[in-house]
Amino acid sequence: MRANKKTFHLIYLLNFLLALAWALPAYIESAYLQATAGPKAVALFLSAATLVTAVVVFFYPRLIRRVSNYRAMVPVLVANFVLLSALAFATHAGAIFFIFIAYYTTGTLLGINIDVFLEDISDDEHTGRIRTNLLMVANISWVLAPLVMGLLADGERYRLVFMAAATALLPALLLLALQRRSMRDRFAYRSRHFHQLLAAVWRDPNLVKIFSLALVLRFFYFIMVLYIPLHLHHALGFSWGTIGWILTVMLLPFLLLQFPAGRIADRFLGEKEIIITGLLTMIVFTGLIFFTRSTSPVVWAGILFMTRVGAALVEAMQEVYFFKHISRQDVDLINLFRDLGPVGWLGASLFSLTVLSFFTIPYLFLFLAVILMTALRPALTLVDTK
């Protein structure tokens, strides 16, 4: 590794705080939007937010190249703090619409800044360990967040959750201010036109396959994050406190599996076999959600835990595979890869809106399992790195 441990630890700590601020409201966003702007607002707000985010993310490399990653990140972080605070107090549906879109966009951009900082100081030999370390740190936030959310959101007190998320950004702002020298850019970044980026991806069939896997995974996350809490709360009658611990159990595989999976990918198997195992697990247990009529929190925690066993393996390996295939100057490729997030979320929001026009929420998970099956072909034909 080229950078000293202090720089790695600083990036990991920033990632923890940013992930906490993103994770705290993630599972109540749909309920918050439904309560403040009406049931029809959920799909509309999220579709608009993902569309705007996809466009802004595409142009973000130009700003990074022009002003540096650090100077791009600071105002975005300040804006995200202000927007989270505004969501805690906004009451007018029109204001919430624009604030939510801006919050969603700036939160996504901060993830890109972290990616660029880490790629700037990483080497290919340790990519698996470095990337899964980053995921593990973020996943600690995601595991803790539902517990805190459950305590704050009981009684539909969604605004407290946004206030807690904004508070988590304050130490991140302080760290950036105090550690400016450690966060300096070490390389000149590339910034290619869209057609050049697509050509660069298309020339490598394995990059095309990993992009398609990442897109399906983002599709999965959108539907699960948005509609599992709604299903548990409204259809099954679970309190937010109960949902909080169910979600915490559900997210444990990200904490327990991704780091050892990264070590195994670096030393033994490579990524392909682990991706296929993860996909098959996701397909089986996502489909099982449709057939489950139990009102036992333990049963639901078990099923959702297994969906995330699969997702944790797929997520870790597609990250490792992608970053092994690019160089640290490829900030534009990193942005294109991250743009799959909002593109997948936009597709999933339109998909869910269509499905729910004819079916109930459980059918979403049945159709989602079918969509996950389409990812098996690129996974099976992926050329392994081992």
Tens of each residue's pLDDT in the chain, 386 residues: 445 677 788 888 999 999 999 999 988 888 888 887 766 677 788 888 888 988 888 788 788 888 888 889 999 999 999 999 999 988 888 888 999 999 999 999 998 888 888 776 665 556 656 777 787 888 899 888 888 888 887 777 888 999 999 999 999 999 888 877 766 655 555 556 667 777 877 887 888 899 899 999 999 998 998 889 989 988 888 988 899 899 999 999 988 887 787 777 667 777 888 899 999 999 999 999 999 989 999 999 999 999 999 999 999 888 888 877 776 666 677 777 777 777 888 888 888 888 888 888 899 999 999 999 999 999 998 887 66
**pLDDT at residue 226, as a whole number:** 85
Closest among 84, 105, 79, 80 to 163, alpha carbons compared: 84
Residue 57 in contact with residue 342, Cβ under 8 Å?
yes
**pLDDT at residue 55, as a whole number:** 86
**pLDDT at residue 86, as a whole number:** 94
Residue 217 in contact with residue 314, Cβ under 8 Å?
yes
**pLDDT at residue 29, as a whole number:** 86
Residue 137 in contact with residue 19, Cβ under 8 Å?
yes
**pLDDT at residue 1, as a whole number:** 44
**pLDDT at residue 117, as a whole number:** 81
Closest among 223, 166, 172 to 27, alpha carbons compared: 223
Give residue-wise pLDDT tens across range 322-353: 877 776 666 677 777 777 777 888 888 888 88
Alpha helices in the chain (DSSP H): 5-26, 29-37, 41-67, 69-89, 93-120, 127-153, 158-178, 194-202, 205-230, 240-267, 272-291, 297-324, 331-356, 361-373, 376-380
Pair of tokens at residue 379: 């996974």
DSSP state of 3: S
Residue 227 in contact with residue 361, Cβ under 8 Å?
yes
Four-point Cα dihedral 30, 35, 37, 41, nearest 10: 30
Helix (H, G, I), strand (E, B) or coil at 289: helix
Sign of the dihedral through C-alpha 64, 349, 34, 248: negative
pTM attached to this predicted model: 0.79
Residue 263 in contact with residue 170, Cβ under 8 Å?
no
The CB-side HSE value for 305 (13 A sphere, CA atoms) comes to 14
Task: Measure the CA–CA gap between 28 and 34, rounded to whole angstroms.
Answer: 10
Pair of tokens at residue 37: 């702007």
Report DSSP letters for 189-246, one per residue.
PP---HHHHHHHHHT-HHHHHHHHHHHHHHHHHHHHHHHHHHIIIIIS---HHHHHHH
Residue 249 in contact with residue 374, Cβ under 8 Å?
no
**pLDDT at residue 196, as a whole number:** 72
Give residue-wise pLDDT tens across range 153-193: 777 788 899 999 999 999 999 988 887 776 665 555 555 66
Q: Residue 6, class by beta-carbon neighbours within 10 Å (0-12 exposed, 13-18 middle, 19+ buried)?
A: exposed
3 state SS for 116-150? HHHHHCCCHHHHHHHHHHHHHHHHHHHHHHHHHHH
Closest among 61, 53, 105 to 80, alpha carbons compared: 105
CATH 1.20.1250.20 fits 5-179+187-380, yes or no: yes
**pLDDT at residue 207, as a whole number:** 86
**pLDDT at residue 40, as a whole number:** 66
**pLDDT at residue 329, as a whole number:** 63
**pLDDT at residue 162, as a whole number:** 94
Task: Measure the CA–CA gap between 346 and 229, rounded to whole angstroms.
Answer: 19
